[in-house]
Structure 1
């Protein structure tokens, strides 16, 4: 059991490293939305321009995070379906590993998003890890995905509000 957990954690860390290396979103979002020197000199000195720019940058990061997380959820569902076709007893390890890898991708893409989206994505990540653990415990596991579905709806609401 502990050996399996270590393997899953290793796979999850590897997936996180791979995902984080592919998309340097916080750096590019900050540089792309920072005002140019000409725009800075034309802005009024009341301090509202920098607050507006900061809010716009945060909103852009949140919108991108929402799109990336939704894509991660869809991609993970397809990979889970493929892994489930392997069947027990070996297939449950593939399903468990995919739930863990999917949760890491969700977590990686939520970095920099607003608080509501980050909280909702953490709930999704927690539910994915719970499903990973359930599949890891039993080759015949058929855990309920109701809590995950509720967390996804919460993410949708948080993304709609931003």
Structure 2
């Protein structure tokens, strides 16, 4: 059982590393080449870009993170449904692995988001890993997804506030 968990964790970490390199986050270069009016007015006095410029970049990153995470959740649900059709005993390993992979995708896409979205996405990620563990422990596992659904609602609320 520990060997399976180690393998699944290794696959999840490899997926996170691969996904992190695929979709780079916006950098401050974009604001340097096309400054906002607030940044332009601050530049002649020798000051740094204003907090509004940083907040705008952060909001854009957060909005993108929310969209990506919501897509990850939908994609993962479809893959879970497909894996569940395999049936025990092999199917429960596939379901466990998919929950772990889905949680890593969410973790990767939450990087750079604001604090509220990051905290909510971590809850979703933790619930997904909990489901992965439950399926890994028993071929007959039918764990409740209520905690995951509550975490997703919290994420939706955090994303709506941006």
Same fold (TM over 0.5): yes
2:34: which partner in 1?
Answer: 36
Equivalents in 2 of 1:129, 1:38: separation in Å? 41
* Matched position secondary structure for 1:142: coil
Aligned mates of 2:77, 2:129 — CA distance in 1 = 14
| Structure 2: runs of 5+ lacking an equivalent | none
Match of 1:63 in 2: 63
The alignment partner of 1:43 has SS state of helix
> Secondary structure of the residue that 2:50 maps to in structure 1?
helix
Q: Is the 8 A contact 2:39 2:50 kept in 1?
A: no
Taking the aligned partners of 1:32 and 1:88, their CA distance within structure 2 comes to 50
Structure 1 vs Structure 2 CA RMSD: 2.1
The list of structure 1 runs, each at least 4 consecutive aligned residues, that deviate by more than 4 angstroms after superposition, is: 37-41, 44-49
Deviation sequence 1:84-119 (CA, Å, 0-9, x none) = 011001000000000000000000100111110000
Match of 1:124 in 2: 124
Match of 2:142?
Answer: 142
Residue matched to 1:84: 84
User: Contact 2:84–2:92 at 8 Å: present in 1 too?
Assistant: yes
CA offsets 1:117-161 (integer angstroms, 9 cap, x no match): 000000000000000000000001110000000000000000001
Aligned residues: 160
CA contact (8 A) 1:29 1:60 kept: no
Q: Is the 8 Å Cα contact of residues 35 and 53 (structure 1) preserved in structure 2?
A: no
Residues 52 and 84 (structure 1), Cα distance of their counterparts in 2 relative to 1, 3 Å cut:
same
Equivalent-residue separation in structure 1 for 2:121 and 2:54 (angstroms): 22
Query: Structure 1 9/94 Cα, relative in aligned 2: closer, same or farther at 3 Å?
Result: same
TM-score computed with the length of structure 2 as normaliser: 0.91
How far, CA to CA, are the matches of 1:100 and 1:73 in structure 2? 12
Could you state the TM-score of these two structures normalised by the residue count of structure 1? 0.91
Q: Which residue of 2 aligns with 1:74?
A: 74
Structure 1 residue 51: Cα displacement: 0.9
1:110 is aligned to 110
